Structure 1
Amino acid sequence: MSEQLDWISVGHTSDLPEGRVKTVTARTTSICLSHFDGQWAAMNNHCPHQRGPLGEGSIERGEGGKCWIRCPWHGWDFDPLTGKPPGGHEDSGQDIYPVKVEGDEIFVGLEPEPPHERTVSDQMAESMVNWGIKHVFGMVGHSNLGLADAIRMRVEAGEMKYIGIRHEGAAAFAASAYGKLTGHPAACLTIAGPGATNLLTGLWDAKVDRAPVLALTGQVQTQVFGPGAFQDIDLASAFAAVSKFSQTVLSTSNHSELVSLAMKNALVQQDVAHLIFPDDMQTNPSDKPASAPDGRMGRAVVKPSDDDVADALKMLNGAKRPILVVGHGAWDHMDAITALAEILGAPVLTTFKGKGLIADDHPNAAGVLGRSGTPIASWFMNEADLILTLGTSFSNHTGIAPKKPIIQVDYERMQLGKFHSVDLPIWAEIGAFCEAISADINRPADAPDQIGELADRWQIWRDEKETRLGEAAGKGIHSAAIFKVLSRIAPPDAIIAVDVGNNTYSFGRYFETKGQRVLMSGYLGSIGFGFPAAMGAWAATQDFDWLKGRKVISISGDGGFGQYPMELTTAVKYGMDITHVLLHNGELGKISKEQRSGEWPVWETNLHNPSFAAFAKICGAHGEKVVSPDAIEAALQKALDVEGPTLVEIMTDADLV
């Protein structure tokens, strides 16, 4: 018999004392191993009643000293040598596996593993690969095991990568940041019930910022939908508002087509797509082919109409002080936009979400406009006689002056004139618009030298930033000092994920970009975004050649990092090259400021924190604490030089923003 079996080691004799049972695993088979009266025995670990774990039970002595294994859940007994219950009923017995001991090592014999039978989950995971899903962030659990196994097989085939997170909210934020950075969706995987609902905040971040994401949630078995079984909630309703596409995968579904529709909605609509996988259908056999995007997606270029081009040229060629306001929606067209700005001799202002799309050291760059911006951008907004907006959403946070003449260009027609009418709304892909007008731009001969004015305004602002460094009052480091150093030493091609709070406002004002790509929770403004977003950005650097080798930096306050601190262990587990800059002021500083501004008493914004640098070291990362301005550069440079996760904790003054 032994010649026909696979003998699999399950431990050593010292692992299990006489008179005890334990759960062991041989390949993927869960086994109850028992040791009694000098004998070793093995049976299927699942009680036939409700699959109770027999290996967590006990050995009981019956009449005549007979040994029985008792299920810990409901007390069913089984003979450890035969697997039969006391009554000997054939239909309630357990499978028994042969055991042999060689030296002190215990082996269990299993039949040779049969070939894998392809499942519905396999079919759908293969379709996801074909549609370009490269990374899955998630948590494996009891209601997604069939789907998780299909993902495992794609990972082992080298077609996907998987990152096991500590909180599902972090998975959704990571996937959102991945989509914002690349324009391609990543997936996030959860169980039913609370695992699924934990995704919602991060998915809302993706939705309102137009980032493609594929959410994959387990669900209870179909036969217990509705009555209120364990972790049974109406996921279709829960995800209806946040997802552009949400469908339950049933045994009768066209499974490949569901993946195609989900991916098309994510990619074309730049939105959240959601698939619900009931537990019982995940392992149904399937011989159907996987789907692919071939013939399912059209070209994305939308050219402006001839009339719109003519009207835009008339307005631009008649303006003496035109400015460009660029939002995140223009991130993939910056070469064309910059070339147009140079022809126009026009300053380029960005929204906060668009920070970094043009480097601040470019002659045409005017920095960020709005609450998180600089006086440079505000000055040029005030002086402008024409505003050309490209990929902006006209957020009140930005403050584009509505009474000035405005040309608005966007590939999404619903964004045109969304909050108020504009003089010339143009439906077009931004790169196509720039190409259509660039050759016919004729600047007025008497137009002022706005580029020279830009240089002057930058010098005024930089001089003022230097004077602000003298405001420090011994309660912590001024944030201007931190971002002065980071502006100088951050790699020009770094990807920077910023959180929400005073740290974000300071970053917007003081950090000068040199080509870095900036990620943030824009319209949702969710605290906790920063570090999970950095994980998503790091994953993207593993997937796309144009991102490979780029350093990932994340920035947060102590409040933001405290939302998902254990994800630092995720970064350590997967060797993520992330440098986290943590501005520690001991409070929710932005909220304290708002309370004072609204003439409220400052209440319950103080925080009780550990040493975050020490916490980083405990997690296995590099950690360093900074308490004086002259130590900032050395600490940050050391962290940037480490290939792996690092955290620099900088003690700051909440009032110096």
Structure 2
Amino acid sequence: MFENTAGSYVIEGLKEWGVGHIYGMPGDSINEFMEELRKEDAIRYIQVRHEETGALAAAAYSKLTGQIGVCMSIAGPGAVHLQNGLYDAQKDKTPVLAIVGQVSSSTLGTDTFQELKLESMFEDVAVYNRQVHAAEQLPDMLNQAIRTAYAEKGPAVLIVSDDLFAEKIKRDMPFTSSAYSVPKIRAAEEDLQSALELIQSAKKPVILAGKGAREAGAELVAFAEKIKAPIVLSLPAKGIVPDSHPYNLGQLGQLGTKPSEDAMKETDLVILAGTAFPYRSYLPDKAPAIQIDIEPKVIGKYYPATVGIVGELAPTLSWFTERANEKEKDFLTKYAQKREAWHADLQKDMDKETDKLQPQHVLAEVQHIMDGNAVISLDVGSVTIWMAKYLQLSGQSLVVSAWLATMGCALPGAIAAKLAYPGRQVIGLIGDGGFSIGMQDFVTAVKYKLPMTLVVFNNQKIQLIEDEQEQKGNPADNVDLANIDFAAFAKACGGIGYTARNRTELKTALASAKASGKPVVIDAYVEDISAI
């Protein structure tokens, strides 16, 4: 029989689950757990300046790697700050563990300093949400929390009074372990046959693929080539099929392309592959649909599926590819030509020389210095639309707050990307509004020597909201931002800062940033143009 602190068993449990680092900020209701972390070299503690950064970074790490991201906080205000990142994990269906401190168990329930009803607060966001009441529960509840986060693809919250971490417990026979088996879900034969009949009869099929196709890119392309179907990708799926592939029409919706929008209007069969695309107005009025997903609850959720297939995407697409008839190229050829014309127009925009730097110029120059395996951490706002249109991905990884669409996600995403893949280039594309939400954690990148290039699109306004206000017929209001010298800020943090007001300055800054091996902010002053 072994006797040790409950906190030490938590550390061992995290190691068994493959956790290599935790994001957080020290404080009085997690001090005992911090002491356990101090003694452990295998788990790296990443001290952030705001708990929201930690939670968003944990979510981004999980999106990029498929492994659970871990963050922690004190009770009260620290716990409140976690919420945005945990909701991002929930909405983008990715496993995260939050270890949340609570006031001492001897004062719990007395409305003491910084005490909140944490279980109530996390109830809506968490797939697992439990308060630990006895030290002996901790090791097993940790396993339950992590296993549930993986199984239900969302955030698990473990709330622990700090004194429990320091209590010694005896462990002779664990009730649980870190074993987790990933289910292999195969589609029902009758559903596959029904879907095949629709595919065989369709003359203008279109495939709309989402992030569920991340591990099925080759199968997706093979299927599209067999049935001569254009491919449209949701934003989180950008890059799964190279933007240069002749079947790839780009994204759909507000940040999409005209060819993808037109193809959806004309199609006689929509094949939703690993996506629950929510924007009904961009989908056909009446076309039949096949929806393939491993989650039964999303079948028909946003579009009336004619046939729903619950199963893994790669084997399902391979099954169709083997059995589907080769189709005529007329519909595909039409949209391949539209795609070429669209990309030619985009190239003209990028090549056009103007007095002032424009967003498409920035992205054209980023394209030139971007490695084939780079990680692109994208923020939310007009920069999202510009990136979707102008940046061509072909094997790079993209991380973004997709469903929650929270501004300020790119810097945490870049931090997580560099910790996940130290040898890969990391580029953050951020609006000035998004960067200023959480830019204090640039110093975190400096502290931990995490090389990255953050390109701030500085137009001194919340561009996307201005466009939306004006589209509604309202005058733009409260969208202008006071200017910040982001390059000077980067230098003040101990990093490198460059200012770019024209294309020549931008080229020099990007090349220098890539060669520096340090965290860099490029303050790119872009002309005020509409994002929509």
TM score, norm. by length of structure 1? 0.77
What amino acid maps onto 1:279 in structure 2?
Answer: D
Identity of aligned residues (%): 30
Local SS of the residue matching 2:528: coil
Q: How far did 1:385 drift?
A: 2.0
1:456 aligns with 2:337: yes
What SS does the aligned partner of 2:58 have? helix
Residues 35-434 of structure 1: pairs in structure 2 closer than 5 A? 118-154=4-40, 156=41, 158=42, 160-251=43-134, 253-288=136-171, 296-396=179-279, 399-434=282-317
User: What is the rounded CA distance, in whole Å, between the counterparts of 1:262 and 1:426 in structure 2?
Assistant: 29
Seen in structure 2, the aligned counterparts of structure 1 residues 585 and 407 have a Cα distance that, compared at 3 Å, is same
Aligned to 1:552: 426
Match status 1:489 vs 2:372: no
CA distance in 2, matches of 1:282, 1:227: 21
Instruction: After TM superposition, list the pairs within 5 Å mapping 1:17-28 onto structure 2.
Output: none
Which of 464, 469, 474 aligns to 1:600? It is 474
Distance 1:397 1:607 in 2: 33
Find 2:318's aligned residue among 428, 431, 435: 435
Q: 1:117 offset after TM fit, Å?
A: 7.6
Structure index of larger Rg: 1
Q: Secondary structure at the match of 2:421?
A: helix
Report the alpha carbon displacement of residue 617 of structure 1 after superposing the two structures with TM.
Answer: 1.5
310-319 or 190-199: which moved more? 310-319
Q: TM-score, normalised by structure 2?
A: 0.94
Q: C-alpha distance in 2, partners of 1:208/1:169? A: 16
Q: Distance in 1 between matches of 2:119 and 2:436?
A: 31
In structure 1, distance between residues paired with 2:39 and 2:221: 45
- Residue 642 to residue 345, structure 1, CA distance change in 2 (3 Å): farther
Contact 2:428 2:455 (C-alpha < 8 Å) held by counterparts: yes
CA contact (8 A) 1:131 1:293 kept: no
Give the superposition deviation at 1:118: 2.6
- In structure 2, what is the Cα distance between the partners aligned to 1:454 and 1:492? 27
Structure 2 alignment gaps of length 5 or more: none
1:577 is displaced (CA, Å) by 2.0
Q: Report if the CA contact (8 A) 1:497-1:531 is conserved.
A: yes
**Counterpart AA for 1:164:** Q
Mapped to 1, the partners of 2:388 and 2:102 lie a distance apart of: 42
Aligned to 2:358: 478
Shift of the alpha carbon at 1:439? 1.3
| 2: CA distance, partners of 1:598 / 1:402 | 24
Contact 2:259–2:339 at 8 Å: present in 1 too?
yes
Aligned 8 A contact 1:249 1:277 in 2: yes
Instruction: Return 380-389 or 174-183, whichever deviates more.
Output: 380-389
> Does structure 2 retain, via aligned residues, the 8 Å contact 1:256–1:289?
no
Determine if contact 1:352/1:398 at 8 Å carries over to the other structure.
no
- Aligned partner letter, 2:401: S
The corresponding residue for 1:9 is: none
Pairwise CA distance, 1:593: 1.7
In the alignment, the residues of structure 2 paired with residue 184 and residue 570 of structure 1 have an alpha-carbon distance, to the nearest angstrom, of: 22
Post-superposition CA distance 1:459-515 (Å, at most 9, x none): 3113322444588875x4221111122233311211111111111111111111122
Aligned partner of 2:489 in structure 1 is: 615
How far is 1:291 from its partner? Answer: 6.4
SS of corresponding position for 1:647: strand
* Separation in 2, partners of 1:257, 1:398: 47
Q: Secondary structure at the match of 2:22?
A: strand
Q: What code does the residue aligned with 1:248 have?
A: Q
User: 1:129 aligns to what SS in structure 2?
Assistant: helix
SS in 2 for 1:553: strand
Contact kept in structure 2, 1:182 and 1:540, CA below 8 Å: yes
SS in 1 for 2:282: coil
Residues 366/291 of structure 1: CA separation in 2 closer, same or farther (3 Å cut):
farther
Give how far 1:134 is off.
Answer: 2.1
Cα separation, partners in 2 of 1:652 and 1:307, compared to 1, 3 Å: same
Is contact 2:280–2:302 with CA below 8 Å preserved after alignment?
no
Query: Aligned to 2:373, what secondary structure does the other structure show?
Result: coil
Letter in structure 2 aligned against 1:216: I
SS in 2 for 1:563: helix
Give the Cα–Cα distance (whole angstroms) in 1 for the partners of residues 408 and 281 of structure 2: 22
> After alignment, is 122-131 or 406-415 more displaced?
122-131
Q: d(CA) in 2 for partners of 1:517 and 1:470?
A: 25
* Matches of 1:195 and 1:591, distance apart in 2: 29
What displacement does 1:130 show? 0.8
Residues 467 and 530, structure 2, Cα contact 8 Å, conserved in 1: no
How far the C-alpha of 1:410 sits from its partner, in A, is: 0.3
- Following superposition, which runs of at least 4 residues in structure 1 exceed 3 angstroms of deviation? 289-296, 452-455, 466-474
Q: Distance in 2 between matches of 1:355 and 1:412?
A: 21
Return 504-513 or 381-390, whichever deviates more.
381-390
Q: Aligned equivalents of 1:482 and 1:612: distance in 2?
A: 16
| Range 234-243 or range 622-631, more displaced | 622-631
Name the CA distance, whole Å, in 2 between partners of 1:354 and 1:279. 41
Amino acid in the other structure paired with 1:141: G
Equivalents in 2 of 1:262, 1:294: separation in Å?
12
Structure 1 pair 498–119 and aligned structure 2 pair: CA distance change class (3 A): same
Cα drift, residue 447 of structure 1: 4.4
Distance 1:286 1:135, change over 3 A: same
After TM superposition, give the deviation of residue 247 of structure 1 in Å. 1.1
**How far, CA to CA, are the matches of 1:264 and 1:616 in structure 2?**
40
Q: CA RMSD in A?
A: 2.2
Which residue among 555, 559, 584 is the counterpart of 2:458? Answer: 584
More moved, 300-309 vs 622-631: 622-631
The answer to whether the Cα contact below 8 Å between 1:301 and 1:432 also exists between their aligned partners in 2 is: no
Q: Which amino acid aligns with 2:9?
A: Q
User: Is 580-589 or 291-300 further displaced after alignment?
Assistant: 291-300
Query: 2:153 corresponds to which letter in structure 1?
Result: Q
Hey, what's the Cα distance between the residues in 2 that align with 1:196 and 1:190? 6
More helix by share: 2
Structure number with greater CO (CA < 8 Å, separation at least 6) is 2
- Note the C-alpha offset of 1:284: 0.1
- Structure 1: distance between partners of 2:526 and 2:175: 51
The alpha-carbon distance between structure 1 residues 630 and 291, as it changes in their structure 2 partners (threshold 3 A), is farther
1:522 Cα shift? 1.2
Cα distance in 1 for partners of 2:141, 2:210 equals: 33
Q: Tell me which moved more, 405-414 or 338-347.
A: 338-347
The residue matched to 2:185 in structure 1 has which SS?
coil
Instruction: Give unmatched runs, 5+ long, in structure 1.
Output: 1-115, 543-548
- Could you tell me how far 1:596 is from its partner in structure 2? 1.8
Residues paired across the two proteins, number: 530
In the other structure, the counterpart of 1:567 is 441
Higher alpha-carbon deviation: 556-565 or 333-342: 333-342
Distance 1:195 1:523, change over 3 A: same
